């Protein structure tokens, strides 16, 4: 059964249909929000708000797929949370003033690999970070990421390429040690 059909059933009050959608998308949406915000509590709040917007009728099947709507919704909620917290808007440019003074080897010496990855991904510019998360962790296609982020596929490809280049350089010692 398609997501859109389940959505229509849940709108008519069928609990089982809403449960199916919730169980399918809860973890992926939470993971994305957690990797973007770094906080379990915030990620759970954003996931809750995302589903509330769904069953309160914000989704229009004529405008696109349900999956795209959910990811775009939680992306927008994450950005709003960032703005409300006083953080910078998502950009595609590296902030040189915050460049890590430690080189890749220092990172590996001081951190476990998972921590090194967390720090490296968090250090990416916001627009590159969301693309790398959606592509590498959620296995979405470039076209779908383009629809979620509201840009051309070429822009997504460019951001992904730059993000990967930075991560390969930052995490090179982790890859060699494996």
Partner 1 sequence: MMERDHELNKVLRTWAAPETGKGLDARVWKSYRQSKPARSGNARWWMAAAAAVVLVVSAAHFRPPVQAPVRLASSTNVHGYRPLPNGTITVVKGKRQ
- Angle at CA 128, nearest 5°, toward 100 and 87? 70
Tell me: does residue 52 bind partner 1 (CB under 8 A): yes
Gap between the Cα atoms of 73 and 47, Å rounded = 9
- Span of 1-9, 79-87, 89-97, 134-142 interacting with partner 1 by CB under 8 A: 134-142
Tell me: does residue 113 bind partner 1 (CB under 8 A): yes
Using the rule CB under 8 A, which residue among 4, 9, 20, 22 binds partner 1? 22
For 29-81, give the DSSP string: HHHHHHHHH--HHHHHHHHHHHHHHIIIII--GGGS-HHHHHHHHHHHHHHHH
91: left (phi over 0), alpha (psi -120 to 50) or beta: beta
The number of residues that bind partner 1 (CB under 8 A) is 37
Using the rule CB under 8 A, which residue among 5, 38, 40, 103 binds partner 1? 40
Binding residues for partner 1, rule: CB under 8 A, are 13, 18, 22, 26-27, 30-31, 34-35, 40, 44, 47-48, 51-52, 55-56, 113-115, 117-118, 121, 132, 135-137, 142, 157, 160, 164, 167-168, 171, 174-175, 178
């Amino acid at each position: 059964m398609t997501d859109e059909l389940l959505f229509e059933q849940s709108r008519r009050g069928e609990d089982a249909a809403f449960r199916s959608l919730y169980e399918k998308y809860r973890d992926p949406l939470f993971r994305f929000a957690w990797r973007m915000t770094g906080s379990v509590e915030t990620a759970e709040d954003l996931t809750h708000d995302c589903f509330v917007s769904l069953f309160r009728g914000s989704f229009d099947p004529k405008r696109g797929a349900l999956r795209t709507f959910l990811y775009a919704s939680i992306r927008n909620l994450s950005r709003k949370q960032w703005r409300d917290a006083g953080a910078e808007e998502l950009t595609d440019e590296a902030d040189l003033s915050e460049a890590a003074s430690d080189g890749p080897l220092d990172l590996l010496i001081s951190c476990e690999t998972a921590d090194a990855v967390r720090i490296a991904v968090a250090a990416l510019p916001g627009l590159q970070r969301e693309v790398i998360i959606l592509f590498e962790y959620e296995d979405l296609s470039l076209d779908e990421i383009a629809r979620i982020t509201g840009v051309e596929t070429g822009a997504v490809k460019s951001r992904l390429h730059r993000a990967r280049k930075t991560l390969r350089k930052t995490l090179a010692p982790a890859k060699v040690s494996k």
